Amino acid sequence: ETGVTQTPRHLVMGMTNKKSLKCEQHLGHNAMYWYKQSAKKPLELMFVYSLEERVENNSVPSRFSPECPNSSHLFLHLHTLQPEDSALYLCASSPQTSGSYEQFFGPGTRLTVL
C-alpha cells in the first residue's frame, strides 16, 4: 500500500449505530487531518493531529470522536449521527502541520446516515 488509504470506502448507518472510519498513511508523515466534504460546500477541517496529539478541533460535535494511536493511523469514531452528517469524509497527511507542506489525501469514506 502506498499513500493514504481509508476504510471503508462506503458506509451506511442508522442514527443509533456506532461505527469507525480508519485512515492509514504510508508516507512517514507526522501530521494527519480529518475533513468533511458536503455537496456544494467547501471542505471543512474537522481535526488535526501532530505527532499523535490533537492540535485543532474546529467546533466539531461530540458525536464525532477522533483517535490517533500512532503517527500512521487515524480513526474517526461515530455515534448517534444525524442525517446531515452524511458526507464524504477525507483523511489527509503532511510531513508537518505547517502550511508550507502540501497535504496528501486519501480517497475518502462516503457516509450515509439514515
Show the site string, 45-74: x = touches other proteins by CB under 8 A, - = not: x--x-x----xx-x----------------
Strand 87-94 relative to strand 73-79: parallel, antiparallel, unpaired? unpaired
The residue within the footprint of other proteins, chosen from 46, 66, 68, 108 (CB under 8 A), is 108
- Taking CB under 8 A as the rule, does residue 12 contact other proteins? no
DSSP annotation of 97 reads: S
Contacts of 62 (CB under 8 A, 6+ apart): none
Please tell me the distance from the alpha carbon of residue 94 to that of residue 27, in angstroms, as a whole number.
8
Number of other residues whose CB lies within 10 A of the CB of residue 69: 9
The residue within the footprint of other proteins, chosen from 41, 59, 62, 83 (CB under 8 A), is 41
Q: Which is nearer to other proteins, 48 or 78 (CB)?
A: 48
Question: Rounded to whole angstroms, what are the CA distances from 19 to 37, 69, 87, 111?
Answer: 18, 17, 15, 10
Tell me how far, at minimum, the Cβ of 92 lies from other proteins, in Å: 8
Task: Note the residues at the interface with other proteins (CB under 8 A).
Answer: 4, 6, 31, 33, 40-43, 45, 48, 50, 55-56, 58, 90, 92, 97-100, 102-108
